[in-house]
Structure 1
Amino acid sequence: MSTREEYTAKIKLQLDEFNTKIDELQARTKETKAEALVKYEAEMAKLRQQSDLAVAKLEELKAAGEDSWEKMVAEMEKIRDAFIHSFSYFKSQIK
């Protein structure tokens, strides 16, 4: 397996894991009070949007030519890191 294939597989696995964690958090938020639920649902929508962006960028990365691969990896890392940061912050807000 090439480095490129290993990298894209690693990123896909990370995104899949975080999407599973989002699903788990969403289930936990169903138990919260109505006013908090509105806030959580809005934050959950933002996380889903970031996840969709990361998945789309991963697809671009898979299709990227060798000349743009390095630039695309840097962009993917930024998107993934922002997604992970947002997820971690949201998770810390759920009690």
Structure 2
Amino acid sequence: MGKKEAYEQKLEAQLKEWKIDIDKMKAKADKADAQARLEYYKKIEELRTKQEAAQKKLTELKAAGEDAWEDLKAGIDLAWGSLGEAVKSARSRFK
């Protein structure tokens, strides 16, 4: 397995983990009172938007050739970092 494939697998696994976290937050939000639910849903929508952007970056990576994927790595790392921080922040807020 090459570096690109290993990197793709790592990103896919992290994206799946974050999806599970977001789904858990949604389940908690569904049980919250009306005011908290609105706040939670807003945060979840932000997370889903970041998740979609990260998924798009992963799709771009998969389509990139062996030579070009390194050029995409910086943008992907930025998107992953942004989503990771947002999930971490939301996770602590939903406790």
Q: TM-score, normalised by structure 2?
A: 0.93
Q: Deviations over 1:12-69 (max 9, x none)?
A: 1100111011101111111211011011101101101100110010000111134432
Other-structure match for 1:91: 91
Other-structure match for 1:59: 59
Any stretches of 5+ residues in structure 1 without a counterpart?
Answer: none
* Structure 1 stretch displaced more, 12-21 or 60-69: 60-69
Other-structure match for 1:3: 3
What is the distance in 2 between the residues matched to 1:92 and 1:17?
A: 16
Q: In angstroms, what is the RMSD of aligned CA positions?
A: 1.1
- Match of 1:24, SS state, is helix
How far 1:71 sits from its partner (Å)?
A: 2.1
* Structure 1 stretch displaced more, 36-45 or 58-67: 58-67
Other-structure match for 1:29: 29
Following TM superposition, the consecutive aligned residue runs of length 4 or more in structure 1 with deviations greater than 3 angstroms are none
Any stretches of 5+ residues in structure 2 without a counterpart?
Answer: none
User: Residue 4 of structure 2 contacts residue 66 of structure 2 at CA under 8 Å; is this kept in 1?
Assistant: no
1:81 maps onto 2:77 in alignment: no
Q: What is the letter of the counterpart of residue 90 of structure 2?
A: F
